[in-house]
Structure 1
């Protein structure tokens, strides 16, 4: 099972998969989900927002659930609590996603096993924005290279 620590695998995941369904994406600019999705969008990724609270986020149609998405999904990026992950696993598998990505602080061993048993890659406790910036050189995206890796926006 991929543990998320192999840079070659992370590089391949981020290089080969350009459609990201962001579950729990907020339309509020100061939220980590918005900041990460905006960064990925600015770096050539297609963002598919999934949140029942919105009709549009980042100029893209927002879907109420992962099941409602009818377009191709490469990565399911989850901005949900660890205990909410189990419900998303069957939807990600049904969507034929290639990668299930759990953000910083989110880990679920049972879900990870189900995901990898289904033939998908699983990344836990990592921020897609931070990993992209670390691997492809975007740590100074907001104009200042502080040499500090964080998903939190400085206000």
Structure 2
């Protein structure tokens, strides 16, 4: 688990969050958590293989397709896919990689460190935001 101070610093410095694995289903945390971040004023950019619009935002098929800087890549995919997402996040020059609660990857942590990205794992971004009172 990442330390809370790092998680809060990453959030306090960020404004744009690309969400890999944002769900179409409003009942899933992979939808409600990004929606909560959007409601708190963060720019949420959905990354999904087949949707066109989620949370009122244009959906991109991959991180590489996003035409603007991404502060945080927030991962809602299984731990086994985290390293590949970390490589993609490093390739676009993302500032931080955030693995949601329950997602842990030593390989993703290593990739993030080698790329100079901040790294948070096994924490819910919306919970950290709410507890710290961070909004945009």
Residue 4 (structure 1) aligned with residue 2 (structure 2)? yes
Structure 1 residue 13 corresponds to structure 2 residue 10? yes
- The alpha-carbon distance between structure 1 residues 26 and 119, as it changes in their structure 2 partners (threshold 3 A), is same
The answer to whether residue 43 in structure 2 is matched with residue 46 in structure 1 is yes
| 1:62–1:137 distance in 2 versus 1, CA, 3 Å | closer
> After the TM superposition, which parts of structure 1 deviate over 4 Å for at least 4 consecutive aligned residues?
none
Q: Which has the higher helix share?
A: 2
Q: What is the TM-score of this pair, normalised by structure 2? A: 0.93
Which fold has the larger relative contact order, with Cα–Cα distance below 8 Å and residues 6 or more apart in sequence? 2
2:122 is paired with a residue whose SS is: coil
Q: CA deviation at 1:53?
A: 2.1
Cα displacement (A) at 1:50: 0.2
1:31 counterpart = 2:55: no
Q: Distance in 1 between matches of 2:69 and 2:134?
A: 27
Structure 1 stretch displaced more, 74-83 or 85-94:
85-94
Over the aligned positions, Cα root-mean-square deviation in angstroms equals 1.5
Q: Find the partner of 2:80 among 78, 83, 89.
A: 83
Q: 1:68 aligns with which of 65, 70, 73?
A: 65
Structure label with greater radius of gyration? 1
1:151 match: none
Gap regions ≥5 residues in structure 2: none
